[in-house]
A and B are shown apart, each in its own frame.
Chain A
Amino acid sequence: MSRPKNQNYKGHGLSKGKEREQRASIRFKTTLMNTLMDVLRHRPGWVEVKDEGEWDFYWCDVSWLRENFDHTYMDEHVRISHFRNHYELTRKNYMVKNLKRFRKQLEREAGKLEAAKCDFFPKTFEMPCEYHLFVEEFRKNPGITWIMKPVARSQGKGIFLFRRLKDIMDWRKGTAGKKLTSLEAPPARSTVNPSGSHDARSSDDQKDEIPVENYVAQRYIENPYLIGGRKFDLRVYVLVMSYIPLRAWLYRDGFARFSNTRFTLSSIDDQYVHLTNVAVQKTSPDYHPKKGCKWMLQRFRQYLASKHGPEAVETLFSDMDNIFVKSLQSVQKVIISDKHCFELYGYDILIDQTLKPWLLEVNASPSLTASSQEDYELKTCLLEDTLHVVDMEARLTGREKRVGGFDLMWNDGPVSREEGPPDLSGMGNFVANTHLGCVNDRNNQLRQLFRSLQNQKKVSS
Chain B
Amino acid sequence: MLQEESDLSLVIAQIVQKLKGSNLYAQLERQAWASLQRPEIKLQSLKEDIKEFFKISGWEKKLQNAVYSELSVFPLPSHPAAPPEHLKEPLVYMRKAQGSWEKRILKSLNSMCTELSIPLARKRPVGEQKELLNKWNEMGTDEPDLSLFRPVYAPKDFLEVLINLRNPNYENGDSLSFRTHLGLIQVPLKVKDIPELKEFFVELGLTTGQLGIDDSTQVPPELFENEHVRIGQKVLAEQDSAAAQQYIRQGSPTALRAELWALILNISSQPEDILYYEQLKTNVIQHDLLVDSLIYKDVKLTASNDDYYFVFEDYLYQVLLCFSRDTSVLGHFAYNSASPPKSYIRGKLGLEEYAVFYPPNGVIPFHGFSMYVAPLCFLYHEPSKLYQIFREMYVRFFFRLHSISSHPSGIVSLCLLFETLLQTYLPQLFYHLREIGAQPCKVSIWFLTHRTVP
Contacts and interface: CB of A to CB of B under 8 A. Distances in A.
Interface stretch (B198-206, B303-311, B347-355): B303-311
A262 interface: yes
A227 B379 CA distance: 12
Contacts of A438: 217
Contacts of B216: 439
Contact of B254 (A286, A302, A373): A302
B85 interface: no
A306 B217 CA distance: 18
B378 interface: yes
A293 interface: yes
Would you call the interface of chain B mostly helix, strand, loop, or mixed?
helix
A113 B141 CA distance: 46
**Contact count band on B:** 20 to 34
Interface in A40-75: none
A262 B137 contact: yes
B382 to A, nearest CB: 12
Nearest to A293: B309
B392 interface: no
A305 B305 contact: no
A374 B307 contact: yes
A307 B315 CA distance: 17
Contacts of B314: 228-229, 262
Nearest to B253: A310
Given A261-B141, A291-B306, A441-B217, A227 B311 contact: yes
B255 A310 contact: yes
A300 B309 CA distance: 12
Would you call the interface of chain A mostly helix, strand, loop, or mixed?
mixed
A230 B311 contact: yes
Tell which of B217, B254, B377 has the most Cβ of chain A within 10 Å: B254
Contact of B313 (A228, A302, A303, A305): A228
A439 B215 CA distance: 12
B309 A258 contact: yes
Contacts of B254: 302, 305-306, 310
A339 to B, nearest CB: 34
A295 interface: yes
Contacts of A373: 307
B311 A295 contact: yes
A291 B311 contact: no
Contacts of A293: 309, 311
A306 B257 contact: yes
A262 B217 contact: no
Interface string A282-313: 00001010011111100100110111111000
A291 B137 CA distance: 22
A443 interface: no
A262 B141 contact: yes
**Contact count band on A:** 20 to 34
Contacts of B217: 438-439, 441
Contacts of A230: 311
Contact of B309 (A292, A302, A306, A439): A292
A173 B378 CA distance: 48
B312 interface: yes
B255 A291 contact: no
Interface string B293-308: 0000000000001111
Nearest to A372: B307
Nearest to A306: B254
Nearest to A290: B307
A303 B378 contact: yes
B141 A309 contact: no
Given A302-B254, A306-B258, A228 B306 contact: no
Contacts of A288: 305
A291 B138 contact: no
Interface of B: 137-138, 141, 216-217, 254-255, 257-258, 305-309, 311-315, 377-379, 381
12 contacts: A228-B314, A228-B377, A258-B311, A286-B141, A288-B305, A292-B309, A306-B255, A306-B258, A307-B258, A308-B255, A374-B307, A438-B217
Given A230-B311, A288-B305, 10 more contacts: A228-B312, A229-B137, A229-B314, A262-B141, A291-B305, A306-B254, A306-B257, A309-B255, A372-B307, A441-B217
